[in-house]
Amino acid sequence: MAFLTARRALAGAALAVIAGLVPGVTHAAPAPHPSDGAPGTELPVFTSTGAIVDPFDGTLPHNPNQEFIFPSVFHAGAHLEDPLGEWYVYYAPHDDPGGINLMYADSLDGPWTQHEASPVVANQWEDIYDVPHVSSPDAVWNAAEDRMYLYFHGDNTVTRYATSADGVTFTYGGEAVTTEMVDAAQPGRHATETSYARVFRNPDRSSAQRWGMLFMTNYDTNVRHINLAWSRDGRDWQVEPEPIVTPGPVEGINVSAADLWKWKGQHYIVYGATVGTILARPVDRTLTEVGEPEPLFIPQPAPPEAGRATSPQIVKADGTLHLIYEHGERSHTTIAHAVLDPDGVRDPLNTRPEDPMYAQCTGAGSDELDGAALDRSLWSTTVRGGLDRSTVSDGAWRIPTYQGNSTSAPLLLQPVPDAPWEVTTQVTLDPQVNFQQAGLIVRRDDANSVRIDISHVDAGKRFDFVWRENGVDRNNAWTAEDSALAPPGTGDTVWLRITHHGAWLTASYSIDGATFVNLGRATPADQLAATDVGPFAYRGPSATPELTAAFDWVRFTPDEEELAACS
């Protein structure tokens, strides 16, 4: 075991190639760009410079629940007399009571100063409204009225607006879009939320509608879409009869927080989605022909980005393209900044296309499973070994889907390396009945583990990343952040990966053996304090048919020294 001990003393720098894993999407070839842009226009790559406001800063003037969302960038120096700074960013707490905050700076690179009188808009406006919260600000300059219009939602069923000559003091304007307006425009649908609106000048200057709005609508199906509305004056709005963006396999269950952006002559709808990636769909200038989604910005999976970025606003200033956006796990979000980086990497999760599975160079502890029996000197940890019926044959470790779950099925594991580390497996399983599943588990004991699997649910095949803490599985059914339905075309063979970044454990999967996609929320490694890792398979109730999962190999990513030896 000496070679294992040596290998497991991995240095952080040695795993630089895996330390920046991020969520992505199933990468299909980009669709042709509709109408007014050059086909094949390549999207820019942004590199994050980090958060621009600290949600744990106790000195902030308005910070009721230590989370901020939905930044809106406003060029104050171009429109206001004697502004506090050249640039304003409005942002808001998410949950009750919300409130619209303001920070300002002379450069989009910062530093940012908080406006001490925040919130500039609260959840109560005397004699007008009294709602649980207001949030999602969006500021635009209405030149026809020589005033700023600030749009915001409060409560979730209404997007409102207020106006201002100085960006600090506001006059209430009225309601812009409501769930009732969506219901009237889209017979047969029932809206439950109209929020997260962005307003922009209509790119079709021949239209009588001067203003456009992209806003999120949730329906009684609990699936969030992006809708489009038009207005002549920014006050009275007409909702289109169909959503402009409907979530698909690339996005996951929900889409939200969309904006219109122009890049090299092509317009795009840029928005967030359940998968955590900021996506871009090409669209013509009339906003009627919408293309397929492409990844624009893929955040790091571990905190603080935590595999989730959304609410993009892209602004060019002093020759630099800036992305101001929201990142972090829900309820722990804040506002961040990124800049165009010609040398940046869009998808750090997939930085080795020449050898994505490390088939040409593996780290110690890896097992190609080519023998006639399991190497028990490597797989030295046994849990309920008396129940084990697994075999090694024909180049695979074949594990039946045992009755029960990870707290009752047998496990053959090996000790985890010293952090950081990464382990990947190729598994073949065709789950057809609920509870059939197989994957990788990182475990301290029956009550504490994380596991990534391919499984079956009512909707079909699904990938899961489950953190079991003190006997309770983490499960956020509302946002479904820790699960992803298998994309169309997913075969029986998939690739599953768990990465230990030092402080965090993250998971990812691949359906093609080349491109990995982030899955679920990170797990705190020290809190889990895992001791062992390896494959598993089970099926839950005894009535569920038993299948056999075939694991072709289990590979640890090589450290820097091992990579050098391979080359």
Alpha carbon distance 553, 451 (integer Å): 17
141 in a structural domain: yes
381 and 259 co-located in one domain: no
pLDDT at position 275 is: 87
Query: Taking a C-beta distance cutoff of 8 angstroms, is the pair 130, 124 a contact?
Result: yes
The 10s digit of each residue's pLDDT in 134-154 is 999 999 999 999 999 999 999
Say if residue 338's pLDDT is above 70: yes
11 and 101 co-located in one domain: no
How far is residue 80 CA from its own chain's centroid?
35
Cβ neighbors of 418 (< 8 A, separation 6 or more) are 8, 9, 10
Alpha carbon distance 344, 112 (integer Å): 25
360 and 463 co-located in one domain: yes
The β-bridge partners of 440 are 452, 535
pLDDT at position 512 is: 95
36 in a structural domain: no
29 in a structural domain: no
130 in a structural domain: yes
> Which of 49, 9, 68 minimizes the C-alpha distance to 320?
49
31 in a structural domain: no
* Both tokens assigned to 143: 């030149």
User: Mean pLDDT across the stretch 34-60?
Assistant: 81
Say if residue 496's pLDDT is above 70: yes
Say if residue 103's pLDDT is above 50: yes
Say if residue 6's pLDDT is above 70: no
Residue 481: band (very low, low, confident or very high) from pLDDT cuts 50, 70, 90: confident
pLDDT at position 401 is: 98
Task: Give the domain extent around 221.
Answer: 46-346
185 and 255 co-located in one domain: yes
Cα–Cα distances (Å) from 406 to 389, 441, 446, 448, 500, in that order, read: 15, 8, 7, 10, 20
38 in a structural domain: no
267 and 357 co-located in one domain: no
The 10s digit of each residue's pLDDT in 288-315 is 999 999 999 999 988 999 989 999 999 9
313 and 366 co-located in one domain: no
Domain finish residue from 346, 375, 409 = 346
The 10s digit of each residue's pLDDT in 436-452 is 999 999 999 999 999 99
Burial environment of residue 111 by CB neighbours within 10 A (0 to 12, 13 to 18, 19 or more): exposed
Alpha carbon distance 227, 247 (integer Å): 12
Which residue do the tokens 């749009």 mark? Answer: 151
302 and 445 co-located in one domain: no
Domain finish residue from 346, 362, 377 = 346
Say if residue 342's pLDDT is above 80: yes
Q: Which range scores top for mean pLDDT: 21-30, 39-48, 54-63?
A: 54-63
102 and 186 co-located in one domain: yes
User: Mean pLDDT across the stretch 22-32?
Assistant: 29
pLDDT at position 416 is: 96
pLDDT at position 31 is: 33
pLDDT at position 373 is: 95
Write the CATH number for 437: 2.60.120.200
Query: Taking a C-beta distance cutoff of 8 angstroms, is the pair 55, 66 a contact?
Result: yes
357 and 332 co-located in one domain: no
3-class secondary-structure state, position 64: coil
User: Mean pLDDT across the stretch 201-212?
Assistant: 96
339 in a structural domain: yes
pLDDT at position 249 is: 84
366 and 239 co-located in one domain: no
3-class secondary-structure state, position 4: helix
56 and 110 co-located in one domain: yes
33 in a structural domain: no
Domain count within the chain: 2
State the DSSP string of 481-548.
Answer: TTEEEPPTT--SEEEEEEEE-SSEEEEEEESSSS--EEEEEEEEHHHH---EEEEEEEEESTTSPP-E
CA atoms within 13 A on the CB side of 305: 27
Domain finish residue from 328, 346, 364 = 346
Write the CATH number for 201: 2.115.10.20
Residue 332: band (very low, low, confident or very high) from pLDDT cuts 50, 70, 90: confident
End-to-end, the C-alpha distance of the chain in Å comes to 25
402 and 254 co-located in one domain: no
Say if residue 196's pLDDT is above 50: yes
